[in-house]
Chains A and B, each alone.
Chain A
Amino acid sequence: MSDQKLPPNEQPPKSASPPGGGITRRGFLKGAGVTAAGTALLEGVQSFHSQALAATHSDVKEYGTEPVAIQLHINGKERTLSVEPRTTLADALRIQAGMTGTKVSCDRGACSSCTVWLDKVPVNSCMTLALDAVGHHVTTIEGLSSGDQLHPVQVAFVRHDAMQCGFCTPGMVMSCASLLENNPHPTEADVRYAVSGNICRCGTYPKVFAATLDAANQMTRKA
């Protein structure tokens, strides 16, 4: 994913490449990573990494610190954003795209407040580079409902009062909705697993469990 191809019109500026095409920090780190894997891990792993490297090396894009224009597919719409290559998906969504429903709390993947879906898979957007989201479908809390029609998990969260301060709620809802997309008949243990990475400091978990199970029932009944 880190070697995501950019469309031609989003090529990074030339100045971003080091002169002479010599050793780059990124290339060095990548090579070092493969070497370490090769010596320390199974042969098969090395082989996989080598193949991946061989297949993509010529396509590797190198970036400097300057902002680059990228296109992100967010909630069904294409958005062109200008981001520094180090920008996380969370910051790109919140600051560049102005979509602040996604929250950042720990900023290192420990609390899941920033959960969004990449191609329907929940990820921590604070641990995902915006560049790595290019070419994927990003779904945020703003895109979970369609118009005024809330997702059944959102309806159930309100009905069960599965929130207090509400700061964890968008991430919690995204985790629970993802569960139901993949498992229409979850048990409470499944719900606990789905939100095991989501921290709620107000301690609203019991109602999160109840709301999600209720939403599953509602969805099954409608289906």
Chain B
Amino acid sequence: MRITTLMLATAGLSAVLHGAPASGLAIGDAIPAATATLLNVDGRELPLAKVVGEKGTLVIFSCNHCPWVKAWEDRMVAIGNAYGTKGVGVIAVNSNDPKEYPDDDLPQMRERARDKNYLFPYAVDTTSDLARAFGATRTPEAFLFDASGRLVYHGTIDDNARNAEKVQHAYLRDALDAVLAGKSPAIQETKALGCTIVPRKQ
């Protein structure tokens, strides 16, 4: 855990407590010192602070029900499993209200994590406040922070959800490799269609 990173990030705490800015996180912003309660599929509470990695931190807003998540999921899991062993803290977070999407409830998430061999936490954002703090709007949506806790990549997994063999730009992997090399990713913002996050009501 990188205490110093989180202490640096406390400047953003008021924004978290008072609601994220409408524009969400921008490249260069500190990882939010989110107070949101995350409940991992192993049944334990998991503060975001415990996920922060020595060399970087990857937060992916994900879920069970979304066809776009399903299309990317094998690649997403492979990335999380691989870079989680390289000093990058990795977590997938589900901020959807399970009343809207029953497939996004904890038992179904636990089953998915087991079936897909998630070696990193897959956690319920129990108030959806983490999504608000990040300004996350869709799934899957990745936020990658460097070793100093600054956002260096935001966006999609790669440029072809439907066909892994036709990927031309592996945006997230490239960004992770850059972070591990101590460099800024060449491409820092990407977009793809995704499923709208439906948060719990405040």
Partners in one complex: no
Interface residues of A, Cβ cutoff 8 Å to B:
none
